Structure 1
Amino acid sequence: MTAPMALARPSPNALWEMDRRHSLHPWTNFGPFEREGSLVISRGEGCYLWDAEGRQYLDAVGGLWCTNIGLGRKEMAQAIAEQAERLAFSNTFVDVTNDPSARLALRLAELAPGDLNRVMFTTGGSTAVDTAVRTVAYYQTCMGRPEKTDIVARDYSYHGSTYLAQSVGKRPGDRVPEFRYKEEGIHHLSVPNPYRRPEGMSEAAFCDALVAEFEALIARVGADRIGGFIAEPIQASGGVIVPPEGYLRRIWEVCQRHDILFIADEVVTSFGRLGHWFASWDLFGVQPDMICTAKGLTSGYVPLGALILSDRMWEAMAADGSRWFTAGFTYSGHPVSCAAGLKNIDIMEREGLLAHADRVGGYFEARMAALADLPLIGDVRGRRLMLCVESVADKATKAVLPDEANESKRISNAAEAMGLLVRPMGHLNVMSPPLVITEAQVDFIAETLERAIVQVTDELVREGFRLG
C-alpha cells in the first residue's frame, strides 16, 4: 500500500527547490541565491552535519557560534520533550513565572560575575542587546539623568539585527542603502584591531590611542549625554578581533569615571567558547553592568537569550516602587527554552567542557597559526575555539584582494567539497567549532583548510591576480 503523501519524504532536489522558491534567508544575496539555492542540511551529530544527499561535513562553524555541546544529544531532546509535555508555554509578564524560568535565572546569577544577579529572558542575542540598549535610557532616567542616553559602540561591531541592535552595530556590509538605521544618539569608535594598526605603531601605543579617542569623544559629546558603552570582548562577526592587551579594562575604567554603563555583548563569547562561562571578568578583568548572552546558552537546540544586569541597576530602577519596566517578549522565559538551558549547563558542568575547550582550544590556536606561512594568509587570530584566517594580496602591505576575487567564498567552497564547513566573511574564513571537538578533528580542520587555501591560491594566480 502506498504511504500517504503527507508522510512522504521530499527528495533532496525537491527540498532545494522548495527553499529556493519560498524562503527569504537572513543576509540573502539575491542573485547567487536565485541561481544556486542553498545547501540543505538534514542531520547533525556531535561536530558533524549531513546534507540531504547524505554527504558528511565537519562543522567548524558550530552552527552560528552556537552548537557548543554538539548536536544530536538525546538527553537534550528528552528534556525539551518532557518540558513541552508538562508545560509547553506560560507567559512571564508582570507577576507570572514558571519553574524552568525561575531556576535558570538563579543559575545565570550564580555563573555571572560580581553582582549581576537579575535576569531578563529574551528570544535571542539581538533582542538581548536591544533590551540592554533601551535599559541604558531607563536606568539613567531613574538616576535623574534623562539626557544621558547616547550609546557608544565600535566600528566592525555586530550586535544583532533588530532595528536598534543593527543601528548600534557597524560591520562593513551590514549597512545597505535599502534599509534605514537609527543615527541620532549612537557613536562609533575605531575598531581595536592590532593587525590593522597604523604602520610603525606599537600595540601599546595603539591601545593608548584608542583610549584617548574614547576620552576625546566623551569630551566632545559630553559625559552628561553618554549613558552606555557596548562591546563584544572579542568582536566576532566583525572579524574575530582580539583587542590590544589592557584595552577593555582601560575602556571600562573610563566608563566608571563618567558613570557610563558598560554592556558586555557576550552572545558569542559566553558559555565556553573561550573556556569560561563569561569572558569579561575572567579574561579581561572587566566587571560589566550588563551582559547579553544567547547562542551557547542552549547550544542552539532552541532559541533563548538573556540580559543579565546588576543589583545596583535593579535597585535604582525599582527605587520608588511605582515604575513599570515596559519591555519584554511573548517568549520571554519560555519554559521549554529554559529547560533546555538548564540541561545545557548541566551537561557542560558534568563533562568539564570549559576545561576541555580551553585545552583543545589551545591546540586549535597552535595548529591554525601554521597557516600564516601560506602566501595568501596575512593573519591568523582569535582565542581558543573562536578563530579566523585573513586573506591578503600582499603580506608586507596587508593590502586585500579586489572583491571580484571572492577568495574567502572560494576557500569555503573548496573546503566544503572536502567535507569541511568554514564561514566566509569579507576576506576572512571564520571558525567556531563545538566545544566537544577533539584534537584529531582539529587536525582535520587545519589540514583540509590548508588544502583549500592552496587550491584557491593556485586558481587566483592562474587567473592573473597578483599575490605579494
Structure 2
Amino acid sequence: MNIKTNLTTDEVLTADTHLIQSFADLDLLKQNDARTVIVGAEGAMVRDSEGNELIDGIGGLWCVNVGHGRKEIIDAITDQLTQLDFYSTFYNFTHPAAAALAEKIAALAPGHLNSVYFSNSGSVANDSAVRILHHYNNRLGRPKKKKILSRIGAYHGSTHLAMAMTTPGYSEGWDTADSLVHHLKSPHYWREGDGMSEAEFCDTLIDDLKQTVERLGAENIAAFIAEPIQGAGGVVTAPDGYHARMAAVCADYDIKYIADEVVTAFGRLGHFFASQDVFGHTPDIITTAKGLTSGYQPLSATIVSDDIHEVISRPGGMFLHGMTYSGHPAAAAAGLANIALLEQEKIPEHVRTTGKLFEKTLKGLGDNEIVGEVRGSHFMMGLEFVKDKSSKLAFTPEDAIGLKLARATQKRGLIARPLGNILILSPTLIMSEAQIGKIGDILQESIEEVAASL
C-alpha cells in the first residue's frame, strides 16, 4: 500500500475532517483557516505546510525538552525496533530497555522513590497512581481510605478519573468520577489573596486542607495530588513553602502525597525532578510523562515509594493493573536516549540560567495595560490579560483575548497557547538568548496590536 505523504495543505485539511482533535472547538475547526498544518521541525522551530518557520513556543505541548529532530533519539528508537519491536512488561515478561529505563528513573528520583510503573500518558500515570494507592490501602485492610484531594485550578489529565481530579472548569458538559474527588482552594495568590500577605494566604490554604481532612475523615482519604506549578489550569505558582507544608500535614494524617510532575520533570524548572530540588519535599508518588521522552514516543511513569511497593508486592495478591504498551521497547529506548542528552549536554543546568532569562523577559511585559499578571518559572510561563489592572476585571469569553493574541503571535512567527484570558509559553529547553529575545519582541508587538484593536 502506497501512502501519499507530500499532501498539499488543502488535501491535509480535507483528510483532517475525519480527525477529532483534542480540546478544540470542533464546530470552529470546520473552517479551514482555523487549523494549522505542521509538517516539519528542527531544534526550537517548526514549519507549517505553507513554508512558515515558527518558534515552537509550546514545545509541542509542554513536551519537546531537548528540541526537535534529535538524531540520537531517532536512532535509538530505530535500533530498538530492529532488535525488539514490541513486547509488553506483562505477567512474567520484561525486556532490557524497560528494565534499564526503570533503573535510571529510580536513580534520578528523590529519596525513597525506587519503583516505576510505565504507561503511555500523563492521564494514565495519574490514574495508575490512584489505583495503586487504592490497592495499597486494600492490602492494609483499609478499604474506605479511597478519596482523593485535588485543587481548584489543577490539571491532571483527561481520562474519566484524571478529569475528576482536574479543575471543574475542564469538565463542563462532561461526566467524571466526582464522588471520589474533593477540591481544595486554589493556591493562586494574585486572584485569591484578598488583601492578605502571601504568608497569610498560605496559612489559609493549610487550614483549608486541615478542615477538609477533619470533615471527610482521614480514614477515608487516600491521597492529595498536586502539580508543583499548575499547568493547564493557568500556570499558577503556589505561595512559598506551600508544598512542603501541605506534605507535612498529609504525613500527619497518613495521607499520601502524589506530585504530578508530568510537566515539571526532566528539566523544565532546571532539575530532573522539581519536588525536592525546587520545592523542598519528597512525595510518596511522582507521576511524569512529556519530558520523559521529549515527546518522541508516548510514555509516562508512575514512580512509587519503597513503602508503597513493599505493601503491593507482599505474598498472596496480584497486581491487577496493566496496559498493553506499558514499557514499550521503542518508547523506553527513546526515554533512555533523551535522558542521556539531558545529562550529557547539561540541559537542566543550562535552564537555571536561560530559563531565568526567559522568565525575566516575559515578566518585562507586565507594564502593558492589558497584562494583569505574568507568572510561572523558567520555561513554564503564563500571561493573564485583564480589561482593568486595578480591579483585575477579566475579559469575557466573547472577547476571545487569548485566541486573538495567539493568532497575532503566530502571524509573527511564534506559536503560543491560548487558554481563555491566558497565553501560555512552554518552549523547548534549548532556546538561545537570541530566540528568547525574539519571543519577547513578538509578544510585545502582538500585545500592542491586540490592545489597540479592543
Task: Output the amino acid matched with 1:205.
Answer: E
Q: Tell me which residue corresponds to 1:370.
A: 364
Q: Tell me which residue corresponds to 1:16.
A: 13
Q: Tell me which residue corresponds to 1:272.
A: 267
Task: Please tell me whether residue 169 in structure 1 is matched to residue 166 in structure 2.
Answer: yes
Q: Secondary structure at the match of 1:361?
A: helix
**Cα deviations across residues 9-47 of structure 1 (Å, max 9, x unaligned)?**
22121112211x211001121221112342000000011
Distance 2:140 2:425 in 1: 42
After the TM superposition, which parts of structure 1 deviate over 6 Å for at least 4 consecutive aligned residues?
none
Distance 2:5 2:308 in 1: 54
Task: Please tell me whether residue 288 in structure 1 is matched to residue 286 in structure 2.
Answer: no
Q: Does the CA-based 8 Å contact 2:247-2:257 persist in structure 1?
A: yes
Q: Which moved more, 1:138-147 or 1:446-455?
A: 138-147
Match of 2:306 among 286, 292, 311: 311
Q: Secondary structure at the match of 1:224?
A: helix
Match of 1:448 among 439, 442, 445: 442
Q: Does the CA-based 8 Å contact 2:409-2:415 persist in structure 1?
A: yes
Q: Secondary structure at the match of 2:286?
A: strand
Distance 2:117 2:6 in 1: 40
Q: For 1:42-441, list aligned pairs within 5 A.
A: 42-172=39-169, 174-177=170-173, 179-319=174-314, 321-441=315-435
Q: Does the CA-based 8 Å contact 1:126-1:162 persist in structure 2?
A: yes
Distance 1:348 1:400 in 2: 39
Deviation at 1:389, TM superposition (A): 0.6
Distance 1:222 1:8 in 2: 58
Deviation at 1:288, TM superposition (A): 0.6
Deviation at 1:200, TM superposition (A): 1.5
Q: TM-score, normalised by structure 2?
A: 0.98
**Cα deviations across residues 45-75 of structure 1 (Å, max 9, x unaligned)?**
0110000111110011111000000001112
Deviation at 1:6, TM superposition (A): 4.5
Distance 2:22 2:448 in 1: 30
Distance 2:41 2:289 in 1: 20
Q: Secondary structure at the match of 1:22?
A: coil
Deviation at 1:185, TM superposition (A): 2.4
Q: Does the CA-based 8 Å contact 2:42-2:69 persist in structure 1?
A: yes
**Cα deviations across residues 72-116 of structure 1 (Å, max 9, x unaligned)?**
111211111110111010111121001100000000000000010
Q: 1:218 to 1:406 in 2, by over 3 A?
A: same
Q: Which moved more, 1:246-255 or 1:136-145?
A: 136-145
Q: Tell me which residue corresponds to 1:35.
A: 31
Q: 1:211 to 1:5 in 2, by over 3 A?
A: closer
**Cα deviations across residues 337-394 of structure 1 (Å, max 9, x unaligned)?**
0000000000110001011111100111111111000000000010111001100011
Distance 2:78 2:327 in 1: 17
Distance 1:402 1:7 in 2: 43
Q: Secondary structure at the match of 1:30?
A: coil
Q: Secondary structure at the match of 2:272?
A: coil
* Backbone CA RMSD of aligned residues: 1.2
Distance 1:72 1:171 in 2: 37
Distance 1:289 1:403 in 2: 39
Identity %: 41
Deviation at 1:143, TM superposition (A): 1.9
Deviation at 1:5, TM superposition (A): 7.2
Q: Does the CA-based 8 Å contact 1:231-1:264 persist in structure 2?
A: yes
Q: Does the CA-based 8 Å contact 1:65-1:268 persist in structure 2?
A: yes
Distance 1:421 1:185 in 2: 37
Task: Output the amino acid matched with 1:326.
Answer: L
Which structure 1 residue ranges, 5 or more long, are not aligned? Answer: 461-468
Q: 1:88 to 1:188 in 2, by over 3 A?
A: same
Task: Output the amino acid matched with 2:19.
Answer: S
Q: TM-score, normalised by structure 1?
A: 0.95
Q: Does the CA-based 8 Å contact 2:186-2:192 persist in structure 1?
A: no
Q: Secondary structure at the match of 1:393?
A: strand
Deviation at 1:197, TM superposition (A): 2.3
Question: How many matched pairs?
Answer: 453
Q: Which moved more, 1:400-409 or 1:371-380?
A: 400-409
Deviation at 1:198, TM superposition (A): 3.4
Deviation at 1:286, TM superposition (A): 1.4
Q: Does the CA-based 8 Å contact 2:114-2:303 persist in structure 1?
A: yes
Q: 1:141 to 1:161 in 2, by over 3 A?
A: same
Q: Does the CA-based 8 Å contact 2:140-2:311 persist in structure 1?
A: yes
Q: Secondary structure at the match of 2:200?
A: helix
Distance 2:410 2:387 in 1: 23
Q: Does the CA-based 8 Å contact 1:158-1:171 persist in structure 2?
A: no
Distance 1:422 1:316 in 2: 44
Task: Output the amino acid matched with 1:199.
Answer: D
Distance 2:3 2:272 in 1: 44
Distance 1:148 1:7 in 2: 54
Q: Does the CA-based 8 Å contact 2:38-2:47 persist in structure 1?
A: yes
Deviation at 1:150, TM superposition (A): 0.6
Q: Secondary structure at the match of 1:93?
A: coil
Deviation at 1:303, TM superposition (A): 0.4
